[in-house]
Structure 1
Amino acid sequence: MEIKWIYPRWGSAHMDWKVFLNNVKEHGYNGVEIDLPLGQEKKEIVAMLTDFELDFVGQHWQTQEVDFEKHEEEYKRHLFNLAEEKPLLINSHTGRDFFSFEQNMELIKLAHEVEEETGVPIAHETHRSRFPFAAHVCKQYLHEIPSLKLTSDLSHWCCVAETLLENQQEAVGLAIKHTYHIHARVGSSQSPQVIDPRVDTYKEELSQFKSWWKAMLENAKANGRPYITIAPEYGPLPYALQHPQTQELLGDQWEINQFIRKEIEDLWD
């Protein structure tokens, strides 16, 4: 089974598109993870991806509306906007943690209808503030919808639960079976991102996340998938921390993402 390496635009939005894409291409990535603006201006971005021979994962995060009916309409519009450009998949920040179970289920059903109509897989990210914001909550949805696809970033769950989820192994195991896309970031019981996973201070956290990533890869292979997409996702500010006096970032996003990629490659090889 192949790993398709995807680099996030998050943290590089200040860069010129062509500089960004060239850098990603030169370092052996298969594609990028990006949102797309509504309207025709997105065509220029998609054309550049074609020029650089890069795939892309469409990212939806924009729908923040509190009113459910307005939220649903906006969500639908963004999903179709991404799907019409035929990404490898759509990674969706779906629903809200304060919506009811039934409301979030309606949004999940809507995403499935978009997937069926367009042929573009839609995976829902295990992200704080969204419907799968915590392990024990997501487990309910996974039991209800056996076909549900996840973008697994368990750093969020660790932060919410204030543990490395050692007491929620059933929920974690179920999430691994539903993992379709991976966001590879090392979190801790107190934050969604450790300061620098390369240092021994976070040896335990790195080991735990590597164990989860390996299980996700093994599950994808066992299910006969020809490839799985992984985005190393050490984040910029405010995920990355600054020295309080010098304002210097305490971790370099690009370097740490390359470290995570190498760790997973060595793990899988």
Structure 2
Amino acid sequence: MADDAEQGTAALPIRRPGFVYALGKVILWPIVLLYFRPRISGRGNVPRTGPVIFASNHLSFIDSIAIPVAAPRRLQFMAKSHYFEGTGFRGAISRWFFTAIGVVPVERGAGGSGQESLDAGKRILESGGAFALYPEGTRSLDGRLYKGRTGVAFLALTTGAIVVPVGVAGTDRIQPVGTRFPRPHRFSVSFGEPIDVSVHGPASSGRARRHATDEIMAAIHALSGQELAGAYNEAPQSGVARLVDRVLPRERR
């Protein structure tokens, strides 16, 4: 099992998004602009170089399109590998699309998937790239903002990456739970001021990870204006932040 996890991690195509990403953004932007009329603010808060973690609230699958389209940096997400495994024309289109929005595949069903996600995120950031994740672990089904999982702080403290909090609103109205196709509705993406979490202590400290994560979530809350849930989102295990959290030492909660 360990050998399989290591082999899977080594096979991940961790490289900076290139031509396909740029082409995808050129194609998607006018569609998004005309169909959804987005409000985008705070782009000037995003560092143009160096490792950056985009930490966002999560309301809908559409978030993973809205954030890359709005961001001034080319960024990468983790997502289930089955998006890349289709066959025929439909499979080819799926692979192109998810590559175009910066997705890196990860085997979520594997025993080492949490470590694989953690290693992939570190490799993106250590190469000077931008990595996006949802600290809540999975999308909020009731619109509230849930407590953040400490994987985001671990990655920031380990790599020295700056964290840019992101607040997304309205995307849950575009594709509500249970619907297959997006509906026209205005959404907003707000990029907050960069956060340097190194002041909280080393990545090995559970208390430092917890305090850093709480600071990040407070910034996201200020941008999104959501009601606070005051608890973890306990939906079925699926989000990258939750997978990462599983391989970290437990901190006092």
TM-score normalized by the length of structure 1: 0.30
- The structure that has the greater radius of gyration is 1
RCO comparison, higher one (Cα < 8 Å, 6+): 2
TM-score normalised over the length of structure 2: 0.31
